[in-house]
Amino acid sequence: MEMLPFILATVFTAATPLLIAALGEHVTERAGVLNLGVEGMMIVGAATGFAAAVLTDSSVFGILAGALAGMALSAVFALMVLVFATNQVATGLALTIMGLGLAGLIGQGFVGQPRAAIPPVKIPLLSEIPVLGKAIFTGDFVFFLSLALIAFVAWGLNRTRFGLLLRAVGESHGSAHALGLPVKRIRLVAILFGGLLAGLAGAYLSLIYTRFWSPGMSAGRGWIALALVVFAGGHVWRLVLGAYLFGGITVAQLHAQAGAIGLPSQFLSALPYLMTIAALLFLSISGRKGAGAAGSLGQPFVPER
């Protein structure tokens, strides 16, 4: 029982970057844009965040810089798909390839440098509750920020006028355009928001989760975040559930490796990727696709005059 709050806390730490990146991509995809560059934006956020934190000796500033770096990369994507109407799948892939290289260049001088932990935030009174107090109400500030982001995205998409417009644009850009909605402008906001969150998720990885920078450290998390968005099928709560489930699998797999249960470690390391496929399969078999993808997802938008 003494281990439980500790284990729960590590589950939340492992899940938070997935959750943040997936929330961002969820908004982007609701607006009808498929950005496969999450992995690239995430790792650039991780490298930039770490480098900025070391240079300014402020982890908070590093996290901010990481988020902005992710957004900067998403601006390139926005320019391509909104102005040039390029193929979104190929452009997203290009963003990921470019991001992996760029992150390597940025992080070059920072490999192996350690970084101190950010002091945890304790919610007064609530953090005194046994088990849950230590697991949920004591954490880094980005963890609490991610909780606020869940609420913000759910509220913003479902309860605000802008959210309604954003979903309308995603569902049918042709109709939205005919109604006089600024399709490209709304999509620009959604893409930049997705980039900001992917960068934030990356900075969380290098500054809070591992607390060092190593090349390729995002290790497919951006792709898992993309799968989580599919898994969510348009519902934010399912996205949150999926992210914490994946955090749980990641931590369980690490414990199993440490506990040497006889399986080769590579098989356990492959679990998150196999589980991603299994989750998509389960979704399809159970027929719980939810609202599904936005109607105009991934299609280039070239308005007629």
Partner 1 sequence: MSFNLALVPRREVSLLRQVLTPVLALVVALLIGGLIVWMMGRSPAKAFDVFLREPLTDPWALQEVLLKSTPLMLISIGLIFCFRANRWNIGAEGQFLLGGMFGGGVAIATHGLSGPWILPLMMLAGALGGMLYAAIPAALRNRFGISEILTSLMLVYVAELLLDYLVRGPWRDPKGFNFPQSVPFTDAAQLQPLFEGGRLHAGFVLALLAVLVAILVFRRSLFGFAVKASGEAPRAANFAGFNEKRITLVVFLISGGLAGLAGMIEVSGQVGQLRPGFGQGLGFTAIIVAFLGRLSPVGAMLSSFVIAVLLIGAESAQVSLKLPFDLTRFFMGLLLIAVLAGESLNRYRLEFRKETA
What are the residues binding partner 1 (CB under 8 A)? 36, 40, 76, 79-80, 82-87, 89-91, 93-105, 108, 182, 184-185, 188, 215, 219-220, 223, 226-227, 230, 264, 266-267, 269-270, 273-274, 276-277, 280-281, 284-285, 302-303, 305
In angstroms, give the least distance from the CB of 102 to partner 1.
5
In angstroms, give the least distance from the CB of 60 to partner 1.
27
Q: Counting Cβ atoms within 10 Å, is residue 205 exposed (0-12), middle (13-18) or buried (19+)?
A: buried
Instruction: Rank residues 127 and 175 by Cβ distance to partner 1 and give the closer one.
Output: 175
Instruction: Rank residues 56 and 108 by Cβ distance to partner 1 and give the closer one.
Output: 108
Q: Which two tokens stand for residue 277?
A: 């496929």
Q: Phi then psi for 213, rounded to 5 degrees?
A: -105, 130
Instruction: Rank residues 135 and 168 by Cβ distance to partner 1 and give the closer one.
Output: 168
Q: Which residue has the tokens 């190929």?
A: 90
Instruction: Rank residues 100 and 241 by Cβ distance to partner 1 and give the closer one.
Output: 100
- DSSP code per residue over 57-107: T-HHHHHHHHHHHHHHHHHHHHIIIIIS---HHHHHHHHHHHHHHHHHHHH
Q: Which two tokens stand for residue 289?
A: 């696709």
In angstroms, give the least distance from the CB of 143 to partner 1.
26
In angstroms, give the least distance from the CB of 185 to partner 1.
7
Q: Which two tokens stand for residue 150?
A: 């869940």
Instruction: Rank residues 33 and 82 by Cβ distance to partner 1 and give the closer one.
Output: 82
278 Cβ contact partners less than 8 Å away, ≥ 6 residues apart: none
In angstroms, give the least distance from the CB of 83 to partner 1.
6
Q: Phi then psi for 35, rounded to 5 degrees?
A: -105, 100
Distance CA 258, CA 129 (A): 29
In angstroms, give the least distance from the CB of 135 to partner 1.
29
Contact 225, 201 (CB under 8 A): yes
- Kindly tell me the sign of the dihedral angle through the C-alpha atoms of 158, 293, 250, 193: negative
Distance CA 57, CA 298 (A): 41
